[in-house]
Amino acid sequence: MVYLFHSISQKAKWERDTKYYPWLKEGEVAADVFSTLRPSDGTLSTYIIDEEKTRLLRVAAAFGCTRDSFQHVDYALIPYATLADAFTLCTTPGKTADDKVNEWHVDIVHLTSEKLARFVQLIRDERHEMDRISEKTVKSMIYYGVENKQIDCDKIENPKMKAKVCN
């Protein structure tokens, strides 16, 4: 099965349950999870992850280069077919410092509030994988990517990250 990787800003918000929110009904998630998705112009950015998930760490490293500092990467993997059936997907070049990762980029486009709510439902209902890649692993993969010329220092737009990994 092929997946789409979507970075989420705070995995912990998805894990809060009725102990934290006693008013939630079975199967519901709190509205707070919407803030973890960060759509822009009616679009969510995702990356294709192969069945064996060999691309996962490389995508996380490329994504990590967009930040000010080394940080963990929280993410959800959703089956590609599930999203292709429910949303309009558009292959567009990514905007990372790794050209290969940019080829794996797919936008979920034309999102409305109803479609975003459907996306949240799919993440919750589809028994997706939601996990965290540690800061240590992300840092190591960024350095690996720079050393092996997967990550192009000239394309790291964040000056703070560029100074950390490219000097």
pLDDT average per 10 residues of sequence, the chain (167 residues): 87 68 79 83 95 96 92 91 93 95 97 92 76 95 96 93 90
Q: Which pLDDT does position 72 carry in this prediction?
A: 93
Residues 6 or more apart in contact with residue 66 via CB below 8 angstroms: 96, 157, 158, 161
**Radius of gyration for the alpha carbons in the chain, expressed in angstroms and rounded:** 16
Q: Which pLDDT does position 154 carry in this prediction?
A: 94
Q: Which pLDDT does position 159 carry in this prediction?
A: 92
> Can you list the alpha helix ranges (DSSP code H) found in the chain?
11-15, 56-64, 80-86, 99-103, 113-125, 135-147, 159-165
Q: Which pLDDT does position 25 carry in this prediction?
A: 81
